[in-house]
Structure 1
Amino acid sequence: MKRNLKKAASLALASTMALSLAACGSSGSTETKAADSKAAEGDSKAADSAASGEEVTLKFSWWGGDSRHEATEKAIEAFMAKYPNIKVEAEYGAWNGWEEKQALAIQGGNAADVMQINWNWITSYSGNGKNFVNLNDYSDVIDLTQFDQDVLDQCKIDDKLMAVPISLTGRLFYWNKTTFDEVGCDIPTDEASLLAAGEAFKAKGDDYYPLALGEYDRQIFLVYYLESKYGKPWVENGELQYTQEEIQEGMDFITKLEENHVIPTLATLQGDMADSIDKNAKWINGKYAGILEWDSSVSKFKKAIEESTDKPGQELVIGEFPKFGDYNGGFTKVSMAFAVSANSEHPKEAAMLINFLLNDDEGIEISGTERGIPCSKKALEILNEKGIGDEMVKEANAKVTSYSKFPLDPYFEHNDLKANPDGVYYKVFGKLSAGQETSAEAAQELIKGIEECYSNYQ
C-alpha cells in the first residue's frame, strides 16, 4: 500500500494527538569477525570525536516505569564517565500524556536529540524522512551489523534509517497466581474457564475480577479473539479483513465478559482514579488478577504486586494463550526504537549515545531488559552469557514471538484510532461498555473510523 507519508505527518502533528507504544528480538547470537571489526572501528571513531574536547550537551527523552528510569539514568552516568565532554540531560515520565507532549515537541522543532520512540512514529511523524536523522549516515558510529536487516528495514522511510530498533514485543496474558489460589479457581485457558473464573471471583467479592482491560486493551483483545477464530490478519494491504458481522461477534464477546464478571466495566475502571492499571489499587492489592500486556512492559505490573503495602509478595505468572478457535491469534511488532531529531546540533554524539545503550558492554549490562529483549545480537549474547535481565520478560518474549505470527500494520496504532480519549477505539468501546451503542452499532462505528483513517493516509 502506497502511503502518503507527508500528508500523514502533517495531519497527525497538527492534531497533537498521541503517538503510540512496544520490543525487536533477534534470533541471532553469533558475532562475525567482520562485525567485531566494524564495532571496534565505530568505537574508535566515537572515541576520537569525544577526545576532541568539544563540550556537547544532549537531551535524551523516554517514557516508562521506575525501573526503566533508574536503569537509564545509571546508563547515562556511565556514558558521561566514558565521554566526559558530553553532558546528557534526561527528560522522562510515565506514558500517560507523553504522546501529546512529544507531538508538540516534534511539531515545534525542539524534540530531544535522542528520542525513545514507538515503531509507528516512524510512519506518522518522520515527515517523510525530514524530522529524524538518517542513521545510515552514522554507521561508522552505530554498529548496525548487530541488527538483522529485515528488522532494520521496518524502521526505514524511502531507504532512510529513521531509528535503530531496540526490541520486538507482543501481548500476553499474565495472571496473579496468589489471587487465583485464594479464589480457588484455575487460571483461564479458554472461554469456558474465563467465564468460570468470573463466577468464582464474583463470589469472592464484587470488587474482584479475573481480568482488567482498558479501551485499547479491548481492541487488542478483540483482534486476538477474531484472529484466533478466523485465521485472518486484522488489516492487510491497507484494508480491513473482517466483516461487520464478524466484528459484531467480537463485540458481543467482550460484552459477555462484562456481564459475566470477567472484566470490570470501563466506568468501574475510571472510578478507580488511576492513570494506568499498574497504579490501580485494585491491581496492587490483587483484586484485579489478570492483564493482557506487552512482554516489554510487564516488569512494572509484577513489581507493583510484589511490593504492595497491604499484600506484599504476590506472584505474577505468564498464562497460556487462551484458545478461542483453531488459530494462534495475536501479533508481534517492532516495539521501541531510538531516533535522533533532525534539529539536533550534535547528531554524531547522539548516535554515540545510541550505540552505547544498544551495543556497548557496559550500556548493555546496565540496561538489561528494561526495554524488552534486545534486537542487538551483541546485547542478546551478553545478557544470556551473564544471566542479566528479567527472566519473566525473557520467557514472555520467547513465548509470544513463537506463538503470535500475524502482522501488524503501523496504522493500527495511529493517533486517530488509539488516542486517549478521542481516538476511535476509546470512543467505540466506551459507548459499548456504557450501553450507549449496541454491538452492531459499535462494529459499524469501528469499521467507519478505521476506513476513514486508512483512506487519509494511503
Structure 2
Amino acid sequence: MVLSLAACGKDNTDAETGGVTKKEDTAKTDDTKKEDTKKEDTKKEDASKPADDTADTKEPVTIKFSWWGGDSRHEATLAAIEKFQETYDWITVEPQYGAWSGWEESMATAFATKTAPDVNQINWNWITSFSSDGSAFKDLNEYSDTIKLENFSKSSLDLCTLAGELQAIPVSMTGRIFYWNKTTFDKAGIATPTNLAELYAAGETFKNVLGDDYYPISLGEYDRMILMVYYLESVYGKAWVVDNELQYTAEEIQKGLEFIQSLEDAHVTPSIQTITGDGAESLDKNPKWMEGKYAGIFEWDSSASKFQKALAEGQEFIVGEYMKDMGDYQGGYAKVSLAFAISETTPYPEECALLINFLLNEDAGVEIMKSERGIPLSKNGLEVCLNKGLLDTTVAEANVKVLSWVSFPLDPKFEAAELKNSDGIYFDAMSGLSYGDYSLADAAQVLVDGIKAALAK
C-alpha cells in the first residue's frame, strides 16, 4: 500500500522528513501554544533522515562489511556503500563479498575465532547456530537511537531476538516458489504448469519435442529437500518440526522421497549426476539454465533477480503458482530472508549501526538497494520503493504469492550447517537416492537419524 503524504487542511508535509509541520497562525495562537508545538515537533523521530553527524568532530574509522549474493546484489551494495561514504565521510567501508558456495563455512570459522567483519549479512538461523547466548552479535536495542527500530514491526524484530537480545535487523521475509522460463515452454508448445499433473506431462513433452537435455525444472539436493517438505505439509497438514521434535515418521518421509524420485523418473528434473556433471558453481551460472534447457526453478522469492538476469537475451522469466493438487493443505513456509548483524568484537558499533540504518531506512540507501535483498520490511524502506516504483516487479509478485499461501512455521535448525551444507544430511540423502546408492527406505532413515541428531544439540 502506498501511504499518502498529501497535506490536510493547514498541515504542511515536510519534504525532507515526511512528517507534518503545523503552520503558525499569529492571529489565533498564543506564545504558550507555540512553545508546546515546538516541543512536540522536537520529540518527533525522523525514520528516514540521516543521523545528524558531521565529520568535523569525528576521527576517521574503517569498518568491514560482509555479504554473499549474485552479481546484481554486489553491484547495488557497492553503489550504496559509495553513497554512504559520501554521507558519512569519516567512515570507510571495506567490502567482503562473494557467492554462497563455502560462505557459511568460512563465516562459522570467523565467528568462532572472533575475527568476523564488523557488519555482516546473516541468515536468520545463524543467530541460533552461532550466537544462542548472545556472544557473537551486539544487542541492537542499545543502538535504537541510530537504527530507527520504529520502522520494523515488533513481530519481525522478535524473530531476530534470542537470549533477550535483538541480535540482528531483519531485511525481508521470503519463501520458495516456482519460476518458469516461459520461452522454453512456448518452444515446447505447452503452457507453464499450474499443477502436478501438468508438471509431469511437461517432462514427457520436453523429452519428446525438445530433446533429452531439456527439463521443465532443475532441482539440486537442497531444492529437493525443501520441495519434499512442502509436499509433505500439503499432504499431512502438519509442520515439519514443532518444539524441537520432528513431526514425521520414516514412513511418511519415504512417501515424500517417492514424490521427489518420481520427478526424476518422469524427466521433470535432471538427476543429481547430470547437474553435477554440468560443472557450474551454481544454477544461475549453469549454461543450461542460461540457454533455457533447464526451464524452471523452485527458489526463494528474494533470489529471483539473479536467475532472471542470468538468462540469455530474449527469454521470458515468470512467477509460477503453488500446486494445489499436492494435497489438501497449503504447504510451505516463510522465513526471515536475510538480516544485518554487528559483530560483538567490533570497536565501532555506532558506525556499524549507521551503515545498517542507511541501507534499510534512509531514502538514499533504499533507493540504491531497492529489492536486491527482497521486499523491504522497513516501513520507510517499503514506502520509498513503492512511491518511486523501485521494486523488482517479479520479486514483488512472488513475495505476495508466497506470503498469502504459506501457512507453516520454519524451525531455525532446519538450516543447520550439518543438515543443509554440501556435506550435510540433506545432500547425503538426496544425492544417495538419485545416484541409486540408497533405497527409498534407506534415504528416509538417513534423514530421520540426521535431523534428530541436529535437533538434539
Correspondence for 1:102? 107
Distance, in Å, in 2 between the alignment partners of 1:38 and 1:392 is 36
Structure 1 counterpart of 2:262, one-letter code: K
Asked if the contact 1:29–1:380 (Cα under 8 Å) also holds between the matched residues in 2, the reply is no
Q: Please report how far the alpha carbon of residue 35 of structure 1 lies from its aligned counterpart in structure 2 after TM superposition.
A: 12
Deviations 1:364-418 (A, max 9, x none): 1011000000110001011001101211111111110011121001000001100
Asked if the contact 2:173–2:377 (Cα under 8 Å) also holds between the matched residues in 1, the reply is yes
Correspondence for 1:181? 186
Candidates 380, 383, 405, aligned match of 1:378: 380
Q: How is 1:68-147 mapped onto 2 (pairs within 5 angstroms)?
A: 68-147=73-152
Unaligned runs of 5+ in 1: 1-26
Asked if the contact 1:106–1:131 (Cα under 8 Å) also holds between the matched residues in 2, the reply is yes
Deviations 1:88-109 (A, max 9, x none): 1111111111111111211221
Q: 3-state DSSP class of the match of 1:47?
A: coil
Candidates 252, 260, 266, aligned match of 2:258: 252
Q: Please report how far the alpha carbon of residue 28 of structure 1 lies from its aligned counterpart in structure 2 after TM superposition.
A: 9.9
Distance, in Å, in 2 between the alignment partners of 1:220 and 1:396 is 17
Correspondence for 1:288? 294
Q: 3-state DSSP class of the match of 1:274?
A: coil
Distance, in Å, in 2 between the alignment partners of 1:51 and 1:417 is 50
Structure 1 counterpart of 2:133, one-letter code: N
1:269 aligns with 2:275: yes
Q: How is 1:338-353 mapped onto 2 (pairs within 5 angstroms)?
A: 338-353=340-355
Structure 2 counterpart of 1:246, one-letter code: E
Q: Please report how far the alpha carbon of residue 36 of structure 1 lies from its aligned counterpart in structure 2 after TM superposition.
A: 10
Q: Please report how far the alpha carbon of residue 50 of structure 1 lies from its aligned counterpart in structure 2 after TM superposition.
A: 4.5
1:160 aligns with 2:165: yes
Correspondence for 1:408? 410
Distance, in Å, in 2 between the alignment partners of 1:360 and 1:36 is 19
1:231 aligns with 2:257: no
Correspondence for 2:199? 194
Give the structure with higher Rg (CA).
2
Asked if the contact 1:42–1:142 (Cα under 8 Å) also holds between the matched residues in 2, the reply is no
Q: How is 1:400-439 mapped onto 2 (pairs within 5 angstroms)?
A: 400-420=402-422, 422-439=423-440
Correspondence for 1:16? none
Q: 1:55 to 1:286 in 2, by over 3 A?
A: same
Asked if the contact 2:62–2:91 (Cα under 8 Å) also holds between the matched residues in 1, the reply is yes
Structure 2 counterpart of 1:341, one-letter code: S
User: Which is bigger in relative contact order (C-alpha 8 A, separation at least 6)?
Assistant: 1
Asked if the contact 2:47–2:150 (Cα under 8 Å) also holds between the matched residues in 1, the reply is no
The TM-score with structure 1 as length reference comes to 0.89
Q: 3-state DSSP class of the match of 1:145?
A: helix
Q: 1:37 to 1:441 in 2, by over 3 A?
A: farther
Deviations 1:329-383 (A, max 9, x none): 1100011000001110100000000001011010010110000001100010110
Q: 3-state DSSP class of the match of 1:335?
A: strand
The TM-score with structure 2 as length reference comes to 0.89
Q: 1:95 to 1:38 in 2, by over 3 A?
A: farther
Q: Please report how far the alpha carbon of residue 313 of structure 1 lies from its aligned counterpart in structure 2 after TM superposition.
A: 1.4
Q: 1:39 to 1:97 in 2, by over 3 A?
A: farther
Distance, in Å, in 1 between the alignment partners of 2:41 and 2:212 is 58
Distance, in Å, in 2 between the alignment partners of 1:122 and 1:56 is 27
Distance, in Å, in 2 between the alignment partners of 1:335 and 1:279 is 22
Q: Please report how far the alpha carbon of residue 189 of structure 1 lies from its aligned counterpart in structure 2 after TM superposition.
A: 2.1
Q: Please report how far the alpha carbon of residue 39 of structure 1 lies from its aligned counterpart in structure 2 after TM superposition.
A: 3.9
Distance, in Å, in 2 between the alignment partners of 1:246 and 1:29 is 47
Q: 1:292 to 1:414 in 2, by over 3 A?
A: same
Correspondence for 1:22? none
Distance, in Å, in 2 between the alignment partners of 1:165 and 1:315 is 31
Q: Please report how far the alpha carbon of residue 47 of structure 1 lies from its aligned counterpart in structure 2 after TM superposition.
A: 2.9
Q: 1:122 to 1:172 in 2, by over 3 A?
A: same
Q: Please report how far the alpha carbon of residue 49 of structure 1 lies from its aligned counterpart in structure 2 after TM superposition.
A: 6.5
Structure 1 counterpart of 2:290, one-letter code: I
Structure 2 counterpart of 1:138, one-letter code: Y
Distance, in Å, in 1 between the alignment partners of 2:345 and 2:163 is 20
Give the % identical residues.
55
Distance, in Å, in 2 between the alignment partners of 1:191 and 1:334 is 28
Asked if the contact 2:183–2:316 (Cα under 8 Å) also holds between the matched residues in 1, the reply is yes
